[in-house]
């Protein structure tokens, strides 16, 4: 039984997931979110699309719009490591606005990745890889680990980083596991490494607690390399970020199930928006959190200068709808959708928004792909046809005649 058949049998054929990432100017980081979305779709057997808070497309509202016409329930799952302002204010605001716009759509808002056994297991493997690189063994050598997170202005998020480090330490033979940050808060990576040098361990394993291999991960690696050069009596190296390891799918699957069963567990006792914490008194209060979210959202609206302001989301020249209803899905529509999106991303000339569609009324002749405002419907499209549709029709306005099903 395929994943799609299992989903239908479980009554999930009218449900979809929106995996929300932060968004980056580095397309490689955005591709990681899309890859995880595709892998999660294979795991759950229901449609999973990617959306972004900022700096990348589609935005959360656009992604919800793309799914709203095909399903009656969408569960938002957040690809954030800790619960800071994006998780607590920005995503809930976008979900609430979508609920007001779509009366007949059920929207569930899920939690962040957070502290999870699968992530602890993944970090343990990342540490073992660095140990092998350095030629040390935690069982016989004095091996210290430094878990380096991004850092936040939210004390609750920073506290979870410390909890994760402690769980990594428990039951393992590391001499110690320290928590540090690459920005925003203290202690910094440099401070932590220099303090560790005084204890003269045999090796220091630095784990960048980040999803992608981006700018911050590079800073962590540079910090580890500089420390290794400065202290020749301590071997040090940085490991890989979390990446697209399949264990993340275990976490995302749990967060999806929690959200759709109304059992999301968020810490409110240490949330700076809900309780008065020393040094964060001005942040307390739901109105302040909402104002911050609205202000942040306004900062990413369309601007006049696209080059200087990369947050612009102008209307596309073309809208492409791919039927992913039951019959077309069984004929390979999800693969067609992904290949079209990939080809469009690879093209420098294509300006199209490619979304899912519910039944287009041509069952048995699909997968169906409709291109508007041209009014061209393609039928029997395979994933191998996707690049030709993009390169010929979407790039140069030349209809792929042998795929045309009808014109409107």
Q: In the predicted model, is pLDDT for residue 40 greater than 80?
A: yes
- What is the spatial distance between Cα 93 and Cα 287, in angstroms, rounded to a whole number? 12
More confident residue, 276 or 31: 31
Domain edge (last residue) among 291, 314, 337? 314
The mean pLDDT value of the chain amounts to 86
394 and 299 assigned to the same domain = no
Residue 339 in this model has a pLDDT that exceeds 70: yes
Alpha helical stretches, state H, 231-348:
247-260, 286-298, 326-330, 333-346
Q: Same domain for 5 and 72?
A: yes
Residue closest to 283 by CA, chosen among 131, 121, 85, 115: 85
pLDDT computed for residue 54 by the predictor = 87
385 contacts 377 by C-beta, under 8 angstroms:
no
* Contact status, residue 175 vs residue 116, Cβ threshold 8 Å: no
Q: Are residues 65 and 37 in the same domain?
A: yes
Please check whether residue 47 is in contact with residue 259, taking contact to mean a CB–CB distance below 8 angstroms.
no
One domain, residues 99 and 130? no
Are 147 and 200 found together in one domain? yes
Tens-place pLDDT, residues 121-157: 999 999 999 999 999 999 999 999 999 999 998 898 9
The pLDDT score that the predictor gives to residue 293 is 54
| Segment among 8-12, 301-305, 336-340 with least mean pLDDT | 301-305
Cα angle 311, 313, 314 (rounded to 5 degrees) comes to 140
Q: Are residues 124 and 219 in the same domain?
A: yes
Helix (H) or strand (E) holding 372: strand 369-372
If asked whether residues 50 and 191 sit together in one domain, one would say no
Residues 38 and 6 in one domain: yes
The dihedral over CA atoms of 136, 138, 141, 143, expressed in degrees to the nearest 10, equals 90
Answer whether residue 13 shows pLDDT above 80. no
Least confident of 61-65, 181-185, 207-211, 212-216: 212-216
> Is the domain of 9 the same as that of 61?
yes
Q: Please say whether the beta carbons of 352 and 319 come within 8 A.
A: yes
Other beta carbons within 10 angstroms of residue 226's beta carbon come to: 14
Q: Which of 298, 314, 330 lies at the terminal end of a domain, its last residue?
A: 314
Structural domain ending residue among the three candidates 238, 259, 285: 238
Q: Are residues 155 and 217 in the same domain?
A: yes
Question: Are residues 319 and 306 part of one domain?
Answer: no
Quickly count: other Cβ atoms within 10 Å of residue 322's Cβ: 27
Say yes or no: 140 and 202 in one domain: yes
pLDDT band at 299 (very low <50, low <70, confident <90, very high): very low
Coil, helix or strand for 25? coil
CATH no. for residue 151?
3.40.50.1400
Instruction: Dump pLDDT digits (tens) for 79-96.
Output: 999 988 888 888 988 898
Q: Domain of residue 342: give its range.
A: 315-408
Q: How far apart are CA 403 and CA 198, in angstroms?
A: 70
* Maximal C-alpha separation, the chain: 75
Among the ranges given (58-67, 166-175, 326-335), the one the predictor scored with the smallest mean pLDDT: 326-335
Please state the domain count of the chain.
3
pLDDT band, very low/low/confident/very high, at 268 (cuts 50, 70, 90): low
pLDDT, one tens digit per residue, over 356-394 is 877 777 888 889 999 988 889 999 999 899 999 999 999
Q: What sign results for the dihedral spanned by CA atoms 354, 358, 360, 364?
A: positive
Does residue 9 register a pLDDT over 50? no
259 vs 321: CA distance, rounded Å: 28
Percentage of the chain exceeding pLDDT 70: 85
Instruction: Say which range, 5-14, 162-171, 262-271, 389-398, has the weakest mean pLDDT.
Output: 5-14
Residues forming a β-bridge with 256: none
């Amino acid at each position: 039984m395929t994943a799609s058949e299992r989903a239908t049998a479980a009554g999930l054929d009218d449900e979809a997931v929106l995996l929300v990432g932060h968004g980056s100017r580095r397309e490689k980081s955005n591709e990681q979110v899309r890859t995880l979305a595709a892998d999660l779709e294979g795991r759950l057997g229901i449609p999973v699309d990617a959306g972004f808070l900022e700096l990348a497309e589609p935005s959360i509202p656009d992604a919800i719009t793309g799914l709203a016409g095909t399903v009656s329930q969408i569960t938002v799952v957040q690809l954030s490591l800790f619960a800071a302002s994006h998780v607590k204010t920005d995503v809930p605001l976008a979900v609430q606005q979508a609920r007001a716009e779509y009366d007949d759509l059920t929207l569930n808002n899920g939690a962040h990745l957070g502290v999870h056994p699968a992530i602890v297991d993944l970090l343990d493997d990342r540490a073992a890889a660095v140990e092998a690189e350095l030629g040390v063994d935690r069982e016989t050598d004095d091996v210290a680990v430094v878990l380096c997170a991004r850092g936040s202005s939210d004390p609750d998020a920073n506290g979870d980083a410390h909890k994760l480090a402690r769980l990594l330490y428990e039951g393992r033979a590391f001499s110690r596991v320290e928590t540090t940050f690459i920005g925003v808060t203290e202690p910094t990576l440099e401070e932590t490494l220099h303090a560790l040098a005084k204890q003269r361990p045999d090796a220091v394993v630095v784990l960048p607690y980040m999803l992608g291999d981006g700018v911050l991960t590079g800073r962590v690696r540079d910090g580890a390399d500089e420390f290794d050069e400065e202290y020749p009596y301590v071997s040090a190296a940085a490991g890989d970020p979390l990446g697209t390891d399949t264990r993340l799918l275990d976490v995302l699957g749990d967060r999806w199930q929690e959200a759709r069963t109304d059992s999301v567990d968020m810490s409110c006792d240490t949330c700076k928006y809900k309780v008065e914490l020393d040094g964060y008194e001005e942040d307390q209060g739901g109105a302040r959190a909402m104002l911050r979210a609205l202000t942040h959202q306004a900062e990413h609206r369309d601007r006049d200068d696209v080059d200087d302001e990369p947050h612009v989301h102008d209307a596309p020249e073309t809208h492409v709808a791919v039927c992913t209803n039951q019959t077309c899905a069984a004929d390979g529509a999800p693969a067609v959708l992904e290949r079209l999106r990939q080809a469009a991303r690879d093209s420098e000339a294509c300006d199209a928004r490619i979304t899912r569609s519910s039944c287009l009324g041509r069952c048995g002749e699909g997968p169906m792909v409709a291109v508007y405002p041209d009014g061209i419907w393609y039928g029997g499209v395979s994933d191998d046809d996707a690049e030709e549709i993009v390169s010929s029709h979407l790039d140069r306005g030349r209809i792929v005649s042998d795929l045309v099903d009808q014109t409107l």
